[in-house]
Structure 1
Amino acid sequence: MKGLAGFGRKQDCVLVIRDSDVVLEALREALGEAPAEERAGLERAVAVVRGVAGADEGPLRAAWVRERLAGVGFAGDLGSVAAIKALRQAEPDLSLLAAVQLQRDAVAHPA
């Protein structure tokens, strides 16, 4: 996942941006041209990227939230008001509604 972003002023819309399809295609092309000694590693890489490409967005958003909270030193309860405050400190462009929705993803999808 590249990142989550709002546009302009604080937004209630949070986008998950992934380029795993592009990476998967590049790995498939490399696998098609790879010498025998590289094939096993590339096959494993294709399997890993395929798993990420099909992942549900909820767990991806939850992981993003945890990364942002860790970045501001938050280690408390993900379901707390303090977690929302810390998330908005980490990402000032998040609206309160977006922060609450992201918090719900983090609570619903434990690490």
Structure 2
Amino acid sequence: MSLFRKPQPLAVLVVRDAPDVVAALRSALETAPDAERPGLERALALAERSAGRPDAELRGRWVRGRLDAAGYEGPADAVEAIKVLRQAEPGLTLLQAVTYAKETAATEG
């Protein structure tokens, strides 16, 4: 057993559909009748804002969702939160759970 192990990759991947949604909304806006334009413009603004969110924020929302579902309401980077997260997602390593917990705490703070 080596003390110097290669770091594990993060297990939670962020899937971003937002660029496709933004492109589809822009396309729809080009041919939209006047009555539909305000709604499409608002939807486009929301989709563009969502597309700009960093991966750490999206992972933080994922972690908070797992913690909330387990009934945990405390700080995301507490030892108990990490324990709850690993019980909710048994495939996470301790390092991954700690990393996600810190990201979540940073985005909530």
The question of a shared fold, defined as TM-score above 0.5 by the shorter chain, is answered with yes
Q: What aligned pairs does 1:1-111 form with structure 2 within 5 A after superposition?
A: 12-13=9-10, 14-110=12-108
- Total equivalences in the alignment: 101
Structure 2 stretches lacking a partner, 5+ long: 1-7
Inter-partner Cα distance in structure 1 for 2:9 and 2:83: 16
Task: Please say which structure displays the higher CA radius of gyration.
Answer: 2
Please tell me whether the aligned partners of residues 75 and 105 of structure 2 are also in contact (alpha carbons under 8 angstroms): no
C-alpha displacement of 1:89: 1.8
List structure 1 runs of 4+ shifted beyond 4 angstroms.
none
Structure 1 stretches lacking a partner, 5+ long: 1-10
**Residue type of the partner of 2:30?**
G
Aligned to 1:6: none
Please tell me whether the aligned partners of residues 79 and 104 of structure 1 are also in contact (alpha carbons under 8 angstroms): yes
Q: Structure 2-normalised TM-score?
A: 0.84
C-alpha RMSD over aligned residues: 1.5
Inter-partner Cα distance in structure 2 for 1:62 and 1:69: 10
Identity %: 49
